[in-house]
């Protein structure tokens, strides 16, 4: 066991962890934050994507002990985030989720796209989404939802 | 229609209502089985076979931890899983929940290890030593039928679960057919790969003397029946709860050996036990699907009209017969639906379900239809080429016509409604075929080849009792139940035994309630997935839930409406025929009562009602069975344009159009989502996904880096156009379309890729049409051309 100190969803956390425990397991098993879903534990499917120091990160291939001093934000921390509020409404309106399992990771990536790439077109959105697999939607609703939020934000900026 | 349904139509049938279930998923509050935390819960890991076929000589448990490792010898009284097809000649395979004496596929479970964490349980599994006498493996279904092949189940004498025949004398047709075409086609074994794997958490409830099993399952009632059988419990002693399910697609329609193991251990140890499948277990060890081989002939007249189809089909069923669908549903389906939506004079088909040293199969979305559609559409393209016709023209000449509906086809399928040729015409228009052909003639600057493909099919959804009985599966669905209850404050609780793993049943069942009762869908609480609270059902699969459960809920709501009218009429002091249901309440000439007033009076102020007002109460249990149980037939035409790079073998989808008829759509947004998602899966089937095996039976795709699922850059924007032929035999005219997208897409893409390769004389005869398969086909074609050219060169 090894001591690690980090911030999880705005709260300072000190915990003893096994060196082999990845961040997703740490959050789910020790912090009971089960909103981060695990899909492949190999960094391929993107289901476990969350924010570490403001950057979308696959929590299944980051060891918890490597997060010393890091600021971790999982899906549970975004209820008062205006961008996430917009994305959630757009995901629902465009039917961008079915079983919901990839959704928290998709939202993390989608939030990154709309904040980092305000001018992204459909092709760019698809490229940026290519690290997040969805088995239900065929990505149609996902691409539309992200486009919709980008449009809304552009219109807001113009206004 | 009534005024009530008109006024409430924005939330009822036909409304693209946003989903009730979205909120919890969007906030990370979905409750999948892996999220369940119980006090004292410990984790399980399995020792799985590293060899495909072998005898177990010795199992050595880790020294000092023997008590934490269990083999089949420790599981006293646990019965093997047995899924016997009812079809004559079926050979039974008993699947012990942990291997006994022999292993028959890589990943088969040999022992289970319990520890405080999964990581520690895996350590124990790694320290458990198993010695094998390795046997030759049967890896290919055709080779498995050869004399001298190794035997999986020695007492069978061969490796064939079941052989079926539909016989016909084709000699006269062969003599008069101007066109005879023949293809040998192969589809890849696939993994269904839902984003969430399987998982089980179980504990023994001491108060109720009941085993409680949380499991990620599509048909919890069937799992309960199976668990009771294997564990020797009565069904009352078992409660199965399937919470949120992160995708099913057929992968979770099974009684798992893991479920039996976890449940037994929870009872044995007296504390909760958990097993969560990881992706490697899913890909290496657990069920696959869809590996078919077709040797298919078609005979047609010179105008391309089909005379006969003759086929020998093999299905690779893997090592065991899965519970409840059995090893032979797939092949039985092949034989009965291969003729597709076409008319023909004669039909012959033989099928073999072959046991191989690979994991068992399960019916994946579309089941056999995806392979069948690929086979029949490939042969229709071949007929078109011989007849010198556009492929769509050959379809139009052979499809069942709208004026022939309802139509009983050559295998006695009762096509209930629709205009199949119109779907083809619209799809061809949507894709602008003349422009595509012109572009093909012009050629591409980058040297890529353009191809156009299409596939048309009909999908028998919500098959009834007689159909499933005919396919021999041991679990035959019958009447579909629903339980409905109004609360004193006017909330409608709907309990259905089907489940939802993305299909949006919480929303669509509430829309049906809204249609009948005018109740706001937000005031409808849909309860699914719990055998303790929902009526017995065979669950969600086979595009059946919206037809079966949707109709049951509709009937239940009508019964409640009737009872509420009685109550309202009495309160208004008017005769029953003077009051009507309107805008969610009872309206008469002298006034109205809202739903919540009626419920409050019924439950809490019974003194206001006479004793005999309508004693049935505000809780009903209804069952639904269609007027005839031959299924509701949806249908579609997929049309696609691709560009194939002849240097790299890579295929890009340029345009994709679908014309779809799902009858009356309960929620068009949800329907489109199902079609998009199914089509994306079909794109995976056609171009990317392959669960390959080495000659020793070792799986060659053990991660999502080897087993390629289509991503956002592989799936194009897809256009969907709807037609609407209401199903004549269902409650609201709805048809099931949950599998539709996955059926036609693979065939349409194969047709398109081969259309692109046609100028080079190449044709790919297998799925996936991967870059490698395309390049191999091109190489074969070049070799054939060279061989043909050689004598001439020699002569010169």
| pLDDT tens figures, A72-112 | 999 999 999 999 999 999 999 999 999 999 999 999 999 99
Q: Is A46 on the interface with B (CB under 8 A)?
A: no
Whether ipTM tops 0.95, in short, is yes
Residues in chain A within 8 Å Cβ distance of B15: none
Let me know: does B173 contact B307? Beta carbons within 8 Å.
yes
Please, which pLDDT band fits residue B6 given cuts at 50, 70 and 90? very low
> What integer pLDDT is reported at residue B395 of this predicted model?
98
Let me know: does B325 contact B83? Beta carbons within 8 Å.
yes
For A87, which residue in chain B has the nearest alpha carbon?
B26
What is the SS3 assignment for B78-103?
CCCEECCCCCCCCCCCEECCCCCCEE
Q: In CATH terms, is domain A82-158 a member of 3.40.50.620? A: no
Q: Note if the bond before B768 is cis, omega within 30 degrees.
A: yes
A35, A79, A139 member nearest B715 (Cβ)? A139
Is the pLDDT reported for residue B462 higher than 90?
A: no
> What integer pLDDT is reported at residue B8 of this predicted model?
44
pLDDT digits 0-9 by tens, B650-663: 999 999 999 999 99
Alpha-carbon distance of B249 to B254, in angstroms, equals 12
Residues 83-122 of A with CB under 8 A from B: 88, 91-93, 95, 97-104, 107, 122
> Best interface-test mutation with A: which of B25, B280, B521 has the largest number of A CBs within 10 A?
B25
> Best interface-test mutation with A: which of B711, B715, B737 has the largest number of A CBs within 10 A?
B711
Residues forming beta bridges with residue A22, ordered by sequence position? A63
Alpha-carbon distance of B354 to B387, in angstroms, equals 36
Alpha-carbon distance of B366 to A75, in angstroms, equals 34
DSSP B606-656: GGGS-TTS-TT-SEEEEEE--SS-S-EEEEEEEEEEEEE-TTT--EEEEEE
Is the pLDDT reported for residue B4 higher than 70?
A: no
B195, B502, B672 member nearest A39 (Cβ)? B195
Q: Is A148 on the interface with B (CB under 8 A)?
A: no
- Characterize B211-221 residue by residue with b for buried, 16 or more Cβ atoms within 10 angstroms of its Cβ, and e for exposed: bbbbbbbbbbb
* Nearest chain A Cα distance for residue B696, angstroms: 26
CB–CB contact A97 B26 (8 Å): yes
Radius of gyration over alpha carbons of chain A, in Å? 16
CB–CB contact B28 A104 (8 Å): yes
Let me know: does B720 contact B611? Beta carbons within 8 Å.
no
Is the pLDDT reported for residue B696 higher than 50?
A: yes
Please, which pLDDT band fits residue B794 given cuts at 50, 70 and 90? very low
Chain A, chain B: beta-carbon pairs less than 8 Å apart: 174
- Neighbouring C-beta atoms of residue B404, cutoff 10 Å: 12
Q: Which two tokens stand for residue B507?
A: 């929303």
CB–CB contact A76 B25 (8 Å): no
Domains B3-29+479-624 and B297-466+628-783 fall in the same CATH topology: yes
* Nearest chain B Cα distance for residue A125, angstroms: 9
CB–CB contact B669 A79 (8 Å): no
DSSP state of B290: -
CB–CB contact B28 A34 (8 Å): yes
B23, B28, B704 member nearest A76 (Cβ)? B28
Looking at residues B529-544, what average pLDDT do you find? 92
> What integer pLDDT is reported at residue B796 of this predicted model?
40
Is the pLDDT reported for residue B680 higher than 60?
A: yes
Q: Note if the bond before B406 is cis, omega within 30 degrees.
A: yes
For B704, which residue in chain A has the nearest alpha carbon?
A44
CB–CB contact A75 B28 (8 Å): yes
Let me know: does A13 contact A31? Beta carbons within 8 Å.
yes
- Characterize B48-69 residue by residue with b for buried, 16 or more Cβ atoms within 10 angstroms of its Cβ, and e for exposed: bbebbbbebeebebbeebeebb
> What integer pLDDT is reported at residue B493 of this predicted model?
98
In this structure, what are the phi and psi dihedrals at residue B291, rounded to the nearest 5 degrees?
-90, 110
* Nearest chain B Cα distance for residue A128, angstroms: 9
Instruction: Say which CATH topology domain B297-466+628-783 has.
Output: Aldehyde Oxidoreductase; domain 4 (3.30.365)
The strand ranges marked E within B358-464 are: 407-408, 414-415, 449-461
B3-29+479-624 to CATH, choices 3.40.50.720, 3.30.565.10, 3.30.365.10, 3.40.190.10:
3.30.365.10
> What integer pLDDT is reported at residue B470 of this predicted model?
81
Helix B740-757, helix B771-795: angle, nearest 10 = 30
CB–CB contact B34 A135 (8 Å): no
- Neighbouring C-beta atoms of residue B432, cutoff 10 Å: 15
CB–CB contact A136 B245 (8 Å): no
> What integer pLDDT is reported at residue B9 of this predicted model?
55
| Domain positions in chain A | 2-77, 82-158
B27, B246, B712 member nearest A139 (Cβ)? B712
Give me the sheet containing B109-115, strands edge to edge: B69-70, B109-115, B42-48, B273-276, B199-205, B210-215, B238-241
Parallel/antiparallel/unpaired status of strands B651-661 and B719-723: parallel
Return the CATH number of the domain spanning residue range A2-77.
3.10.20.30
Q: Which two tokens stand for residue B128?
A: 């458990």
> What integer pLDDT is reported at residue B795 of this predicted model?
47
Torsion sign across C-alpha atoms B497, B501, B502, B503: negative
Alpha-carbon distance of A76 to B112, in angstroms, equals 34
- Neighbouring C-beta atoms of residue B731, cutoff 10 Å: 21
| Domain positions in chain B | 3-29+479-624, 297-466+628-783
Please, which pLDDT band fits residue B321 given cuts at 50, 70 and 90? very high
> Best interface-test mutation with A: which of B21, B123, B195 has the largest number of A CBs within 10 A?
B195
Is the pLDDT reported for residue B2 higher than 60?
A: no
> What integer pLDDT is reported at residue B471 of this predicted model?
76
Let me know: does B266 contact B346? Beta carbons within 8 Å.
no
Determine the number of helices (DSSP H) and then strands (DSSP E) in chain B. Answer: 20, 30
Q: Is A124 on the interface with B (CB under 8 A)?
A: no
Please, which pLDDT band fits residue B5 given cuts at 50, 70 and 90? very low
> Best interface-test mutation with A: which of B20, B23, B26, B506 has the largest number of A CBs within 10 A?
B26
Helix B369-387, helix B391-398: angle, nearest 10 = 110
- Distant-in-sequence contacts of A82-89, Cβ < 8 A, 24+ apart: A83/A111, A83/A114, A83/A115, A83/A149, A84/A111, A86/A114, A86/A149, A86/A152, A86/A153, A87/A111, A87/A114, A87/A145, A87/A146, A87/A149, A88/B22, A88/B26, A88/B27
């Amino acid at each position: 066991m090894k001591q690690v100190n980090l911030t999880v969803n705005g709260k300072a956390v000190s915990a003893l962890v096994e060196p082999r425990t990845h961040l997703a397991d740490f959050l789910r098993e020790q912090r009971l934050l089960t909103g981060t879903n695990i899909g492949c534990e190999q960094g391929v499917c993107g289901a476990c994507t969350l924010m570490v120091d403001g950057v979308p990160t696959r929590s299944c291939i980051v060891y918890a002990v490597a997060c010393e001093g890091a600021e971790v934000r999982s899906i549970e921390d975004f209820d008062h985030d205006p961008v996430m509020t917009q994305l959630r409404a757009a995901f629902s309106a465009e039917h961008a989720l079915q079983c919901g399992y990839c959704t928290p990771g998709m939202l993390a990536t989608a939030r990154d796209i709309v904040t980092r790439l305000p001018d992204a077109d459909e092709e760019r959105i698809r490229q940026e989404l290519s690290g997040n697999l969805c088995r239900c939607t065929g990505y149609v609703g996902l691409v539309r939802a992200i486009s919709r939020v980008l449009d809304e934000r552009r219109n807001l900026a113009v206004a | 229609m009534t005024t009530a349904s008109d006024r409430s139509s924005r939330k009822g049938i036909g409304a693209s209502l946003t989903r009730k279930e979205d909120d919890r998923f969007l906030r990370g509050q979905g409750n999948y089985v892996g999220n369940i935390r119980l006090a004292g819960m410990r984790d399980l890991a399995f020792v799985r076979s590293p060899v495909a076929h072998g005898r177990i000589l010795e199992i050595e448990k880790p020294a000092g931890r023997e008590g934490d490792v269990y083999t089949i010898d420790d599981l006293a009284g646990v019965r093997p899983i047995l899924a016997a097809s009812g079809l004559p000649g079926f050979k039974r395979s008993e699947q012990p929940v942990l291997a006994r004496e022999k292993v028959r596929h890589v990943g088969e479970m040999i022992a289970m290890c319990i520890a405080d964490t999964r990581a520690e349980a895996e350590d124990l599994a790694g320290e458990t030593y198993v010695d094998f006498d390795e046997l030759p493996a049967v890896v290919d279904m055709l080779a498995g039928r050869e004399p001298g092949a190794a035997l999986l189940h020695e007492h069978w004498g061969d490796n064939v679960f079941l052989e079926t025949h539909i016989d016909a004398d084709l000699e006269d047709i062969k003599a008069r057919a101007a066109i005879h075409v023949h293809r040998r086609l192969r589809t890849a074994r696939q993994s269904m790969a839902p984003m969430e794997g399987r998982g089980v958490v179980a504990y023994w409830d001491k108060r109720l003397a009941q085993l409680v099993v949380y499991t990620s399952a599509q048909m919890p009632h069937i799992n309960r029946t199976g668990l009771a059988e294997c564990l020797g419990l009565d069904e009352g002693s078992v409660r199965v709860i399937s919470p949120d399910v992160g995708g099913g697609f057929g992968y979770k329609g099974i009684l798992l050996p893991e479920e039996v193991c976890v449940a037994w251990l929870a009872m044995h140890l007296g504390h909760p036990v958990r097993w969560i499948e990881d992706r490697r277990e899913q890909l290496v060890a657990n069920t696959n699907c869809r590996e078919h081989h077709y040797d298919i002939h078609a005979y047609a007249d010179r105008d391309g009209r089909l005379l006969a189809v003759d086929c020998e089909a093999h299905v690779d069923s893997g090592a065991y017969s899965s519970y409840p669908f059995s090893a032979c549903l797939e092949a039985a389906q092949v034989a009965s639906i291969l003729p597709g939506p076409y008319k023909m004079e004669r039909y012959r088909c033989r099928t073999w379900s072959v046991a191989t040293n690979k994991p068992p199969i399960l019916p994946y979305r579309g089941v056999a239809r995806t392979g069948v559609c690929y086979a029949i559409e490939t042969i229709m393209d071949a007929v078109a080429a011989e007849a010198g016709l556009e492929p769509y023209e050959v379809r139009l000449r052979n499809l069942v016509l709208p004026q022939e509906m309802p139509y009983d086809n050559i295998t006695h399928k009762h096509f209930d409604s629709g205009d199949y040729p119109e779907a083809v015409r619209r799809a061809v228009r949507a894709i602008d075929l003349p422009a595509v052909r012109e572009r093909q003639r012009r050629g591409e600057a980058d040297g890529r080849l353009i191809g156009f493909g299409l596939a048309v099919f009909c999908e028998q959804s919500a098959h009834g009792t007689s159909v499933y009985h005919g396919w021999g599966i041991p679990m035959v669905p019958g009447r579909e139940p629903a339980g409905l209850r109004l609360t004193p404050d006017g909330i409608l609780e709907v309990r259905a035994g089907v489940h939802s793993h993305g299909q949006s049943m919480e929303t669509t069942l509430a829309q049906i309630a809204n249609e009948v009762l005018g109740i706001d869908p937000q005031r409808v609480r849909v309860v699914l997935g719990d055998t303790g609270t929902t009526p017995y059902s065979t669950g969600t699969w086979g595009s059946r839930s919206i037809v079966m459960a949707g109709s049951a809920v509709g009937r239940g709501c009508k019964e409640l409406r009737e009872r509420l009218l009685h109550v309202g009429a009495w309160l208004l002091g008017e005769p029953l025929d003077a009051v009507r249901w309107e805008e969610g309440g009872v309206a008469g000439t002298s006034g109205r009562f809202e739903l919540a007033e009626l419920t409050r009076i019924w439950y809490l102020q019974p003194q206001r009602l006479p004793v005999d007002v309508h004693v049935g109460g505000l809780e009903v249990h209804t069952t639904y069975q269609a007027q005839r149980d031959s299924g509701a037939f949806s249908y579609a035409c997929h049309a696609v344009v691709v560009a194939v790079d002849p240097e790299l073998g890579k295929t890009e989808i340029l345009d994709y159009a679908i014309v779809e008829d799902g009858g009356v759509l309960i929620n068009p947004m949800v329907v489109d989502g199902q079609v998009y998602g199914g089509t994306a899966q079909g794109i995976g089937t056609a171009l990317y996904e392959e669960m390959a095996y080495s000659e020793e039976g070792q799986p060659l795709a053990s991660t999502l880096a080897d087993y390629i699922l289509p991503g956002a850059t592989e799936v194009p924007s897809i256009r969907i156009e709807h037609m609407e032929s209401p199903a004549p035999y269902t409650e609201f005219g709805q048809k099931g379309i949950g599998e539709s997208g996955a059926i036609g897409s693979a065939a349409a893409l194969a047709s398109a890729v081969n259309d692109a390769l046609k100028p080079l004389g190449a044709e790919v005869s297998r799925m996936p049409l991967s870059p490698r398969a395309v390049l191999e086909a091109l190489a074969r074609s070049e070799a054939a051309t060279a061989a043909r050219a050689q004598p001439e060169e020699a002569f010169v």
